[in-house]
């Protein structure tokens, strides 16, 4: 019987119960692999909620980190890479292209690297000119030096398949099926909400999520539904302060970061889910909303179009007027629950596909 591969993971802020799509991806994926592999996950200490060093049979390594935007990922990834060089895992699994900057260094010291390409981060409005340049350089390093590449997004996979077909795979993000429910409605009641009388959006309060023009579109409607945005603020910026002010002015509920039973309650009792993002990798929040059979409205970015939803749910990204019209029309129709085909997005299936990539790595000579 072959020995268990040792897998070291970095590129996320950590697990469990830490905000972010990459964090949710890792939190759902690695417990399903931890019986087959020896997994160590690097975490950024300022974000860690659960101080236990073992979680779901995963060894957690907490490293000092700053919360300075644009610096925290660089510092944490460098420290993680140096420790990997000394620990000598069988595979280093890096999530996202920013941390992928250190792929050549890891390969130089004889380590095998899997990259999960979550999204083209340089497209995000929160980064300045030079930060975007650095992210493009990181992408080049990651794509060219990783032994195997996993794309969560079909559009990105197709875009890069010509150059990296020999080592690339498309494995999407997943969703828990059946969805988890809370018998209580205590949390939504604490927000002053009534079941199926509110519109829900979920995500970090950052420019690429499009919550600014969502609030503007919502403010133009004549209706009784509340808008709830469930997501935390990682960095106090001019944008986040603007969102807080606009929310207060337009009676929008900002919950902050929520997970577990409160989040299940928000999904289960909403009337409609909206994803107005300018950029996404493979939106876990959308799949979660779909698992609760919610009607959805989503921007027409490539990542969302790849999910192949009915055409009537899409609207032009960034178009406040079109979003307002779409919202008004759907609210007036009193939308009913919808059934979606999500079997291909179950985490068990995704874990098996990831394991196949790891097993392929056994055969690769450095």
216 and 323 inside one domain: yes
pLDDT of residue 49 exceeding 90: no
Rounded distance between C-alpha atoms, residue 12 and residue 152, angstroms: 15
pLDDT of residue 125 exceeding 80: no
* Biggest CA-to-CA distance, the chain: 66
Asked, for residue 181, whether it belongs to a domain, the answer is: no
Q: Which two tokens stand for residue 166?
A: 């020999």
Asked, for residue 180, whether it belongs to a domain, the answer is: no
Closest alpha carbon to 148 in 100, 79, 84:
100
166 and 303 inside one domain: no
24 and 151 inside one domain: yes
203 and 293 inside one domain: yes
Coil, strand, or helix at residue 33?
coil
118 and 200 inside one domain: no
234 contacts: CB under 8 Å, gap ≥ 6? 19, 67, 69, 204, 205, 206
152 and 15 inside one domain: yes
158 and 293 inside one domain: no
Chain length of the chain: 366
Range of the domain at 73: 6-174+346-362
Asked, for residue 203, whether it belongs to a domain, the answer is: yes
pLDDT at 232: 92
pLDDT of residue 1 exceeding 70: no
pLDDT at 319: 96
194 and 170 inside one domain: no
pLDDT of residue 285 exceeding 70: yes
pLDDT single digits (tens) 292-307? 999 999 999 988 998 8
194 and 125 inside one domain: no
Rounded distance between C-alpha atoms, residue 116 and residue 22, angstroms: 10
Rounded distance between C-alpha atoms, residue 66 and residue 69, angstroms: 8
191 and 141 inside one domain: no
Q: How many domains does the chain have?
A: 2
pTM of the model: 0.92
Q: Give the CATH number of the domain where residue 326 resides.
A: 3.40.50.2000
Asked, for residue 16, whether it belongs to a domain, the answer is: yes
């Amino acid at each position: 019987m072959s020995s268990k591969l040792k897998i070291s993971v970095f590129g996320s802020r950590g697990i469990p119960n830490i905000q972010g799509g990459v964090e949710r991806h890792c939190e759902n994926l690695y417990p399903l692999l931890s019986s087959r592999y020896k997994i160590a996950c690097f975490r950024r200490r300022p974000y860690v909620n659960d101080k236990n060093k073992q979680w779901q049979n995963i060894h957690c390594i907490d490293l000092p980190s700053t919360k300075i935007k644009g610096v925290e990922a660089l510092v944490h990834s460098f420290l993680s890479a140096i420790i990997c060089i000394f620990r000598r895992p069988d595979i280093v699994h890096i999530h996202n292209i920013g941390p992928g900057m250190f792929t050549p260094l890891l390969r130089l010291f004889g380590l095998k690297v899997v990259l999960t390409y979550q999204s083209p981060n340089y497209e995000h409005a929160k980064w300045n000119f030079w930060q975007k340049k650095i992210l493009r350089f990181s992408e080049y390093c990651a794509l060219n030096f990783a032994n195997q590449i996993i794309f969560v997004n079909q559009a990105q996979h197709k875009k890069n398949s010509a150059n990296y077909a020999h080592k690339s795979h498309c494995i999407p993000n997943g969703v828990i099926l059946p969805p988890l429910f809370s018998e209580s409605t205590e949390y939504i009641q604490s927000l002053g909400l009534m079941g199926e009388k509110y519109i829900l959006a979920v995500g970090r309060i950052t420019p690429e999520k499009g919550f600014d023009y969502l609030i503007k579109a919502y403010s133009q409607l004549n209706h009784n539904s509340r808008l709830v945005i469930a997501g935390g603020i990682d960095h106090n910026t001019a944008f986040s302060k603007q969102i807080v002010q606009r929310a207060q002015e337009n009676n929008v509920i900002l919950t902050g970061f929520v997970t577990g039973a409160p989040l299940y309650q928000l999904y289960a009792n909403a009337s409609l889910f909206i994803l107005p993002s300018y950029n996404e990798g493979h939106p876990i929040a959308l799949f979660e909303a779909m698992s609760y059979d919610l009607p959805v409205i989503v921007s027409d970015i490539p990542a969302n179009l790849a999910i192949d939803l009915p055409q009537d749910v899409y609207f032009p990204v960034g178009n406040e007027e079109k979003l307002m019209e779409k919202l008004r029309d759907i609210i007036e129709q009193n939308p009913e629950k919808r059934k979606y085909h999500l079997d291909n997005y179950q985490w068990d299936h995704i874990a098996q596909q990831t394991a196949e990539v790891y097993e392929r790595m056994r055969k690769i000579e450095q």
